[in-house]
Amino acid sequence: MTIGFIGIGIMGRPMSKNLINAGYKLVVYDKFAKFDDIVNLGAEGASSNKEVTSKSDIIITMLPNSPHVKEAILGENGVLEGSKSGQIVVDMSSIAPAAAKEVGAALKAKGVEFLDAPVSGGEPKAIDGTLAIMVGGNEKAFNTVKPILEKMGSSVVLVGDLGAGNVTKLANQIIVALNIAAVSEAFVLATKAGVDPAKVFDAIKGGLAGSTVMNAKVPMILDGNFEPGFRIELHQKDLQNALDTGHSINVPLPLTANVMETVQALVVDGMAANDHSAIVRFYEKLAKVEVRKQ
């Protein structure tokens, strides 16, 4: 079995490496990023998305947003042009559910199954192969690719029909963003009140307020380390997709809208490429204090 992998970025690079380490044959391509290191590990390099598809049984895409996925699959020299009946395309990007359905319909007309399978966990979990993968689509196709997905994630769950994977990811991203915002607000309060934020973290992380988000992001905040595992601009994209989806089905998302404006302010302030833990910097600016180790 040959796997085509399109999108060798922050997430796609370690994910493709894990597939190679698991013994899969890969054909890879990225329009914008170099992928010589993946070829050096044994993958075959391609010159287009179409070529990747023509040489593969299963095609995985890992791209920034809906327009990128639509271009890679539906555009000139894209996946659709190179596809044949019986193939499976798995999009592991985080895109709008409506876009996933649009792409899926185009591929279905050519006899190609499409699964939307966004991930959660950021670069660290992509590297160690423990991503949470939420999948929407045909159950038979899911069962075919599940062993492959399990080489990249520790949790692989079919959540419903096509589009359900990205709805689940939007729910995940709402919770993560609001959690980081709550952590930021709380730790700015504690710091401005004169309490050591590191000790606050030690005191509350084992209680009800504790969370995976807190455990991952507070150490970064305390170190002033905002190198991206998941960039603010990508979370901004996810929150916009959540708001658009909510509006389309008449679901108000007031807390999401609030955090979206916080994220927008950080982008305007030049922090788009920072890790989303930098949400704390919005609150630090308001309170004129920094949450750091004392």
Of the candidates 131, 161, 191, which is a domain's last residue? 161
- CA–CA distance, 221 with 223 (Å, rounded to integer): 5
- Counting the structural domains of the chain, the total is 2
Range of the domain at 193: 167-287
Of the candidates 127, 161, 195, which is a domain's last residue? 161
Instruction: Tell whether 292 is covered by a domain.
Output: no
User: Could you confirm whether 237 is annotated as catalytic?
Assistant: no
The bridge status of strand 113-116 relative to strand 88-91 is parallel
Instruction: Tell whether 58 is covered by a domain.
Output: yes
Instruction: Tell whether 246 is covered by a domain.
Output: yes
The bridge status of strand 119-120 relative to strand 131-136 is antiparallel
- Select which of 17, 50, 169, 217 is catalytic: 169
- Specify whether 149 is located in the same domain as 259: no
What's the pLDDT at 201? 98
- Specify whether 185 is located in the same domain as 256: yes
- Helix, strand, coil in percent for the chain, rounding step 5: 55, 15, 30
Token pair for residue 266? 């950080």
- Specify whether 156 is located in the same domain as 202: no
What's the pLDDT at 229? 83
- CA–CA distance, 116 with 121 (Å, rounded to integer): 17
- Specify whether 223 is located in the same domain as 259: yes
- CA–CA distance, 172 with 155 (Å, rounded to integer): 14
With a cut of 50, list the residues of the chain below it in pLDDT.
none
What's the pLDDT at 108? 98
Domain CATH for 152: 3.40.50.720
- Specify whether 120 is located in the same domain as 171: no
DSSP β-bridge partners for residue 89: 59, 114
- Specify whether 9 is located in the same domain as 154: yes
Of the candidates 106, 132, 161, which is a domain's last residue? 161
CA 136 to chain centre: 15
Instruction: Tell whether 294 is covered by a domain.
Output: no
What's the pLDDT at 112? 98
Q: pTM of this prediction?
A: 0.93
What's the pLDDT at 294? 83
- Specify whether 9 is located in the same domain as 138: yes
What's the pLDDT at 276? 97
- Specify whether 136 is located in the same domain as 228: no
- Specify whether 102 is located in the same domain as 150: yes
E strand or H helix at 72: helix 66-74
Instruction: Tell whether 293 is covered by a domain.
Output: no
**End-to-end Cα, the chain, rounded Å:** 54
Instruction: Tell whether 70 is covered by a domain.
Output: yes
- CA–CA distance, 131 with 122 (Å, rounded to integer): 8
As a whole number of angstroms, the longest Cα–Cα distance in the chain is: 65
- Specify whether 74 is located in the same domain as 199: no
- Specify whether 270 is located in the same domain as 231: yes
Instruction: Tell whether 106 is covered by a domain.
Output: yes
Domain CATH for 254: 1.10.1040.10
- Specify whether 9 is located in the same domain as 111: yes
Instruction: Tell whether 30 is covered by a domain.
Output: yes
Angle at which helices 279-287 and 254-268 cross, to 10°: 80
- CA–CA distance, 75 with 53 (Å, rounded to integer): 13
